Amino acid sequence: MQLGIVGLGRMGGNIARRLTKAGHDCVVWDRNEAAVKELGAEGSRPAGDLADLVAKLDAPRAVWVMLPAGGPTEGTIATLAGLLSPGDAIIDGGNSFYKDDIRRAAELEPKGIHYIDVGTSGGVWGLERGYCMMIGGVKEAVDRLDPIFAALAPGRGDIPLTPSREGRDLRVEQGYMHCGPAGSGHFVKMVHNGIEYGLMQAYAEGFDILKNKKSEALPANERFTLDMADIAEVWRRGSVVSSWLLDLTSIALAKDETLGDYPGEVADSGEGRWTVMAAIEEAVSAEVLSAALYTRFRSRQDHTFSEKLLSAMRFQFGGHTEFKNGK
């Protein structure tokens, strides 16, 4: 099946590779010419610009946009909207805010262009493992692109089937799902990432407690010097907390138990923030997901104004001096 792909970064490039290997015909473009050439050498058809990419596809066309959320995605979709024809489809496979999807789908509908949002999980492992996809859009458009999604998805693999799923959508067990109308794919992916923040923070706090059990602030007979790498590894087999994130934790700790290469400043993406905002809009209590987000905010600061104010109050009421330079 034909597919245009715009944006050949880590994710977009590997999507083209995985599709090409599966026998699909990818027409690719990126403003980075080297990336286009590289994919061309691996079996994709290179395009010179967006218009050329569109021209190289047969109607009804489908173009997968895999660019950073916000400006780059917005601009590219606007340009494509002018180049495509009724019956064509634009797929936003990036990390767009789902409210932008809802708006774009409504804008494209009068032109007869289908808008499909695909939340794509899998990271750098996706090329090999396949991508878990959460898809939003009109049924007929999503169904038409099924061969693409099926090729990108991980498939059933050797993961045990879940009981009581008889009669349910079989695509789900392959690792992709049509979640609902436009926006719903990115919404589900957004919450997926919010959960990811919470899971990561749960492990992180736990290992922090394990690591600090050797602290000299504790009574001497209550201190343990524990092996972080072995603990992560042992939990991978038979324990309740086994997970893919734990597998990755074990890999990282086996390489260097001190994690000394990482300064500890942790980025956050829009999706973690949007998940908390969605919770607030729905009046859902999201303590853990929020705390996980805030931890990242704090990790990127030397000290907060908030902390200084605490010290200032303590000085005022108790004469507690937490001054710089021991002043």
Query: Would you name the residues annotated as active-site residues?
Result: 189, 196
Give the H/E segment covering residue 62: strand 62-65
Can residue 180 be called a binding residue for its own copies (CB under 8 A)?
yes
Out of 67, 116, 198, 271, the only residue in the binding site for its own copies (CB under 8 A) is: 198
CA separation for the pair 175, 18 (Å, rounded): 15
Out of 130, 141, 149, 271, the only residue in the binding site for its own copies (CB under 8 A) is: 130
Can residue 264 be called a binding residue for its own copies (CB under 8 A)?
yes
Nearer to its own copies, 26 or 134 (CB): 134
Answer for the pair 30, 52: CB distance below 8 angstroms, yes or no: no
How many residues bind its own copies (CB under 8 A)? The answer is 160
Can residue 323 be called a binding residue for its own copies (CB under 8 A)?
yes
**Other Cβ atoms closer than 10 A to 303:** 9
Can residue 69 be called a binding residue for its own copies (CB under 8 A)?
no
Give the H/E segment covering residue 162: none
Nearer to its own copies, 58 or 303 (CB): 303
Q: Which of residues 155-174 bind its own copies (CB under 8 A)?
A: 155-160, 162-165, 168-169, 172-174
Can residue 239 be called a binding residue for its own copies (CB under 8 A)?
yes
Nearer to its own copies, 46 or 175 (CB): 175
CA separation for the pair 265, 274 (Å, rounded): 20
**Other Cβ atoms closer than 10 A to 30:** 22
Which residues have C-beta within 8 Å of that of residue 107, sequence separation ≥ 6? Answer: 81
Which residues have C-beta within 8 Å of that of residue 241, sequence separation ≥ 6? Answer: 203, 235
Can residue 68 be called a binding residue for its own copies (CB under 8 A)?
no
CB of 269 to its own copies, least distance (A): 9
Q: By CB under 8 A, which span of 30-38, 49-57, 99-107, 141-149 interacts with its own copies?
A: 99-107
Beta bridge partners of 90: 63, 115
